Amino acid sequence: MDTRRRERSNELSLDWLNFFLADVRDGLGPYLAIYLLAVHNWEPASIGLVMTLAGVAALLMQTPAGALIDRTSAKRAVVVVAALLVTGSCLLLPWVTSFGLVALTQTVSAIAGSVFAPAIAAISLGITGPRAFTRRTGRNETFNHAGNACAALLAGGFAYLFGPVVVFYLMAVMALGSVIAVSLVSAKAIDHEVARGFASTPAGGHAHPSGVRVLLANRPLLLFAVCCSLFHLANAAMLPLVSQKLSQVNLQLATPLTSACIVAAQLVMVPMALLVGVKADLWGRKPLLLAGFLILPLRGLLYVVSDDPYWLVAVQLLDGIGAGIFGALFPVVVKDLTQGTGRFNVSLGALSAVFGLGAALSPGVAGLVVQAAGYDAAFVTLAAIAGAAFFLLWLAMPETRNSSGDKIDTSELAITPHGRQLIMPRRVLHSPE
C-alpha cells in the first residue's frame, strides 16, 4: 500500500510539474511581441530580432543541457535553479526598456529554460521505465497543455484589466509553482541509469554510454532532426504574426484575443496528447506524426483567407492538432532511436537544438517577409516550409516503434573500439524500413 501511495504521489507531482512549467517552458512568445509593439512601439523586425537572439542562446545550450541531465543525479535541483532564473528574468522585464536589456533578460530566461524538456523526460523515464514511457509522456503533455490553457486564460483576463505587463508576473508565479511541484517528486524513485536511456544487461547491470559516432551514424535520427527543424521554422512565427495582426485591428483586445488563440489550441492539444499516450504504441509513431505535420501548411494558408479576429482564433485551433501530436511524440521517437545507448537526454537536447534553430530563425525570417511583402506573404512562406517538412517525413522517415511493442532486444552486445561493452537495439543502428 505504501509503495502504491508513493507511486501515486510521484504521478501527481509530475502532473503538477508539467502544469506549472507549461507557461515557463514555452516562454513569453506572442505576449512579448504584443508588449513591445503596444507599449514601446518597436518595429516587427526588432521584435523578431530579440526573439531570435533568445532562441539562438537557447539552442546553443540544448545539447549541453541534455548532457548535464544525463550525467547528474540532481535533476530536481537543476529544475529548481532554472525555474528561479526564469522567475527573476520575468520580474525584471517590466523595469527595462532598452533593446540590450530586454534581449539580455530573454536570453537568460531562454538558457535556463533549455533544461526543462530533457529534465522532465529524464525524470519520467527514470520513474516509469521505457515500457510505460509513451503513456507517461502523453500524460505529461496533457497537463502541459492544460497548464498553458489555464495560464493563457488568466493572462487574457488580467491583461484586459491591468495591461500586458501582468503576463510577466503570472509567468513568475507559474515558475515558483514548478519549484514546489518538483520538490515533491521522490528522489529515490528516479533510476538515473534508466533515465539516460540505458538498457539493463542480462546480468542486471547497465552498459556504458555509446560514443557520439553511433548517434551521428543513426540515419533515422538525423532525418527526424531535419523534419523537426523545418516544422519549427514554419510554426514558431505563426502565432506571433497573428498577435501582431490582432494588435493592428484592435490594440486593447490584442492580448485577450491572443490568449483566446492559445487557449483554443491548448484545449485541442489535451485530447491529442492523450491520444498519443494511449495509441502510439498500437498504431505506430509515423501515422500520427504525418497527421500532425500535414496540419501546419493548411493552417498557414488559412490565415491568409481573412483578417477577421474570430477567424484567426478559429484557425488557431488547428495548431492544437499539429503541436499536440508532435509535442507528445517527440521524446518518444527519440527514446525509440536511442534506447540502450545511454545517450537519451543528450540526443533529446541535440535534436531540440536543431529544431530550436528553426524556431529561433522563424520570427526573424517572418519579420523580414512582413516588412518586404506583408503578413499574407509571410504566412504563405511559412506554409511552404511546412509542406516541405511533411513530404520529407512521409517519403524518408521510417516507423520507429519496435514490432514487439517497444520491447528492446538486448540479446546482442556490441564491443566499442575502447573495449567497453554496449547494448544496442538492432533498430537503433539498422532500421529495416
Q: What is the mean pLDDT of residues 269-284?
A: 87
- Of the ranges 92-101, 107-116, 325-334, which one carries the lowest mean pLDDT score? 92-101
The pTM (predicted TM-score) of the whole model is: 0.75
pLDDT over threshold 90, residue 50: no
Q: What are phi and psi of 285, to 5 degrees?
A: -85, -40
Residue with grid cell 505504501, as numbered in its chain: 2
d(CA 339, CA 353): 20
Angle at the Cα of 367 (from 310 to 389), degrees rounded to 5?
Answer: 80
* Res 249: pLDDT: 64
pLDDT band at residue 251 under the 50/70/90 scheme:
low
pLDDT over threshold 70, residue 369: yes
pLDDT band at residue 255 under the 50/70/90 scheme:
low
All structural domains of the chain: 2-429 (1.20.1250.20)
Q: How far is C-alpha 199 from the geometric centre of its chain's CA atoms?
A: 25
User: Where does 163-211 have alpha helices with state H?
Assistant: 166-183, 192-195
- Of the ranges 22-26, 132-136, 164-168, which one carries the lowest mean pLDDT score? 22-26
- Select the more confidently predicted residue: 290 or 189: 290
* Res 311: pLDDT: 83
pLDDT over threshold 90, residue 297: yes
N-terminal to C-terminal alpha carbon distance within the chain? 45
pLDDT over threshold 80, residue 264: no
